[in-house]
Structure 1
């Protein structure tokens, strides 16, 4: 399958949206992106149509494209889904010492990667944050749920990147919370994991009033 100029523009612009280099609420033009990606406007137009169809952009003829902001309802839905899927995964392996030990080791290795990243690199830290949580769901031995969780990964990354760009000090809290989550996994304490995860997500993403 040929990788076209439109495919490349689509990938590059989508990554800019996911890392919040193109923040929600910003208007962009075909011309600006064509210049940035060193292509004509035709592949940019094709890429914009794909991004709009997926809900990342809203197109305005003769004006450009609006990067759709992260809505409060969307954010809460993503966080709710994450709590359900991650706690289900831990519950599924809590009685399997080998699976628990393997996951705890993977999480601690991931955490080492977190610590090696510059706290100001929101894009890379958000990627590693998503990877940490995906490891948890993947360990739950339910391929359908793992695939669904992966589909949330882009929204997960974008939400975290937006939060870190707004407040880079949140990285310290994420590191602390992830270390605690890894310890609770190692202890196979599914109930404590559920409570800690919900508190972690609510605090990091500014929904301390609780998830619904």
Structure 2
């Protein structure tokens, strides 16, 4: 597996180093960028056993997919590591959709991220699962809220596993409309008295016989 030697993101004009896990004595390691072998020069150098690939100063042209392939000496065993996507800048994530929605109406929310290669999107709901009709697929959520007055929190995460970066965005959505009145607790329904029922019955009989 290819990993940066530090937790810092790559930046143009700065030094940067990648390590190939699995390299060592008795193992031949070859580095590749975008499936092409990498040759050392004045700016790019390889450590002993080629376990590390170092840049003295990153250039925009250094962006790409890096991987290392190892071969055990006197063996036909070849191992290709999981690579690393060298890219500049951080992942930007935002949730596109309304801040206020209407109960009983379907609304769409989209998680938008600026990463494309090996970028996965996931949704979460920090406080409560959305009430009403709800579905999501990939970067899109469709929601028909059922409870006026509710405040729903959406959170989406974008993860680029090759670049080993993650970013999140959060959105608070308010469901418009007054809250439904609660049912009165301990209320007593009054029943009509026997005298009132008798009087109504007599009036009906009198009306029918007239």
Q: Could you state the TM-score of these two structures normalised by the residue count of structure 2?
A: 0.27
Bigger relative CO (Cα 8 Å, ≥ 6 apart): 1
Whichever structure has more helix as a proportion of its residues is: 1
Larger Rg: 2
Whichever structure has more strand as a proportion of its residues is: 2
Q: Could you state the TM-score of these two structures normalised by the residue count of structure 1?
A: 0.27
